[in-house]
Structure 1
Amino acid sequence: MSKQHFVVTKEYQNKRIDKVLTDLNKEASRNQVQSWIKDGYVYVNGESVKSNYKCQLEDQIEWEEPEVQELEIEPENIPLDIKYEDEHLLVVNKEKGMVVHPSHGHRTGTLVHALLYHCNDLSGINGVHRPGIVHRIDKDTSGLLLVAKHDKAHELLSEQLANKEVNRQYEAIVHGVIEHDKATIDAPIGRDPNDRQKMAIVESGKPAITHFSVVDRFEKFTHVYCDLETGRTHQIRVHFQYIDHPLVGDPKYGRRKTLNVQGQALHARKLSFTHPMTGEQMTFTSEPPEIFQETLENVAKIY
């Protein structure tokens, strides 16, 4: 695309350069504009600026949109359980055992590979290895995920997440009998100083809040629903380990003697959000996988 020019008017005086360019480029998201600025595609009066630069009257802004890089990931014909889809987003019910995006050790067979086969258009905010992924869940956690098809939808959905306007409810089976019907776990989570592969409750960690309610109690286990107020890595798994009720089957934070449920017994069962384009309130629910339901039946009979 050829270079574009704009002279700052009173309407845009003292406004941030990223906000101005987002207004001028209706198809571009603010995150996308910020990446243009960072990568040197934007000049004010012939000089590079930062995203927080406040535009002055009659500033000469010059910019060009970088060419979109083709994704390096090969699409794979992997079946998907799609709960909803339109031209802006998808709601996918991820199966247990599927990795969300490519990483070291997971070069194929991920949700991203499947999404790229299913649809050509995915947002690029998270780069070539995580296109469209608004939020993620762990490999052995099943359930509902939001996927954005373009950057504007991605940005607006991410804002809802940041503003705690997206409701994500999980269900889990945990060790031990929880006495309280409802409770809140409020404990900061950060990298475990003794094991960089794990997260832990640490004073210097980021705020993390999990609300939960008991669905059913058994002799040695409890079935719970969890509502996330924040979305830290491994939040539910770490929080329930912290209160000495680790998730059944959790290989990283669980007990050595546990039930075989092919990874932690955790399922993202409910997802509510506002559609980023239509403003419609949307809610989706998903039943847990068969192994989760069988485990509940077994603990009810045996324990």
Structure 2
Amino acid sequence: MKFDTIFENGMLIAVNKPAGLLSIPGREGKEVSLKQMLADKYGEIFTVHRLDKNTSGVIVFAKNEAAHKALSGLFESRATEKIYYGLVHGSLSPQSGKIEEPIMQHPSGNGKMVLHIKGKPAFTEYETLEDFKRFSWVKFNILTGRTHQIRLHSRFIGHSIVCDDLYGDGSPVFLSSLKKKYNLGRNEMEERPVLSRLALHSASLKFTLDEEAFSFEAPLPKDLKALLQQLRKLNG
């Protein structure tokens, strides 16, 4: 898998991670990860935060221990601005708001998380950018960085992220389900989904380190752009 470097200096590297690539090595260590790819290129690389495998967008790694400590401190003290875009099921009401539901690991230890009063505080601000009735395109500002935070909070308000196989139904989106009149192309044996991965993108990350302001952005990948284009056509 290829990735685009957004920015790098002696302290850190910001990358636009493609969907389908692990941020860091998994438990079994069999799959390739972005961290390992960076380590192969730069030597030692330090994890600051993570994106889920099927989430695309901005992620930052530190290049040395001092940068790792400083960046980790910024994330832990909520001194960063993290903006995500996601496609959710249905129309949100109200169309904007704040979700405050604590999160902890699922007791089964299977990698899932759960909302629980004994969990760590988690705060998400959301705003509907476009309402397609069946789906909504939503901006998320996460004030904390809990594992699966946006996915859990979206489900909590009754609007899970599209194609979420852990906290939603995981169903892919087909053009035939959106258009009343749909015909397979001449060379197609079966329909391919417009989107089959988690509809979530880490769009921007901002922070100040050593009195220098950093702002990183990652453009929407082709699959999300294509689905949005179809939804806008049908909604127009």
TM-score by length of 2: 0.85
Q: Which runs of 4+ in 1 moved over 6 A?
A: none
Q: 1:270 aligns with which of 191, 194, 204?
A: 204
Paired residue for 2:26?
A: 103
- What code does the residue aligned with 2:27 have? H
**Is 1:169 matched up with 2:83?**
yes
**Is 1:197 matched up with 2:108?**
no
Of 166-175 and 78-87, more deviation after overlay is shown by 78-87
Q: Tell me if structure 1 keeps the 8 A contact 2:124–2:153.
A: yes
Cα distance in 2 for partners of 1:82, 1:257 equals 31
Cα distance in 2 for partners of 1:182, 1:139 equals 27
Percent identity reads 32
- What code does the residue aligned with 1:139 have? K
SS of the aligned residue for 1:230 comes to: coil
C-alpha deviation, 1:195, in angstroms: 7.2
1:145-178 deviation line (CA, Å, top 9, x unaligned) = 1110000011011111111111111000000101
Cα distance in 2 for partners of 1:137, 1:179 equals 28
SS of the aligned residue for 2:47 comes to: coil
Cα distance in 1 for partners of 2:109, 2:65 equals 35
SS of the aligned residue for 2:144 comes to: coil
**Is 1:248 matched up with 2:180?**
no
C-alpha deviation, 1:286, in angstroms: 1.1
Q: Tell me if structure 2 keeps the 8 A contact 1:99–1:106.
A: no
**Is 1:155 matched up with 2:87?**
no
Q: Tell me if structure 2 keeps the 8 A contact 1:140–1:262.
A: no
Paired residue for 2:125?
A: 211
SS of the aligned residue for 1:172 comes to: strand
- What code does the residue aligned with 1:98 have? L
- What code does the residue aligned with 2:17 have? K
- What code does the residue aligned with 2:100 have? D
Q: Tell me if structure 2 keeps the 8 A contact 1:200–1:238.
A: yes
* Greater fraction of residues in strand: 2
- What code does the residue aligned with 2:81 have? N
C-alpha deviation, 1:234, in angstroms: 0.3
- Name structure 2 gaps, 5 residues minimum: 174-192
SS of the aligned residue for 2:202 comes to: strand
Aligned residues: 215
Q: Tell me if structure 2 keeps the 8 A contact 1:80–1:114.
A: no
**Is 1:301 matched up with 2:215?**
no
Cα distance in 2 for partners of 1:172, 1:282 equals 23
C-alpha deviation, 1:120, in angstroms: 2.2
- What code does the residue aligned with 2:142 have? L
TM-score by length of 1: 0.67
Q: Tell me if structure 1 keeps the 8 A contact 2:162–2:170.
A: no
Q: Tell me if structure 1 keeps the 8 A contact 2:84–2:202.
A: yes
134 and 291 in structure 1: CA distance in 2 versus 1, 3 angstrom threshold: same
138 and 256 in structure 1: CA distance in 2 versus 1, 3 angstrom threshold: closer
C-alpha deviation, 1:258, in angstroms: 5.1
Instruction: Name the structure, 1 or 2, with higher relative contact order (CA <8 Å, separation 6+).
Output: 2
Q: Tell me if structure 2 keeps the 8 A contact 1:250–1:263.
A: yes
After TM superposition, list the pairs within 5 Å mapping 1:66-77 onto structure 2: none
- What code does the residue aligned with 1:109 have? V
**Is 1:83 matched up with 2:31?**
no
Q: Tell me if structure 2 keeps the 8 A contact 1:188–1:208.
A: yes
Cα distance in 2 for partners of 1:254, 1:226 equals 18
Paired residue for 1:118?
A: 41
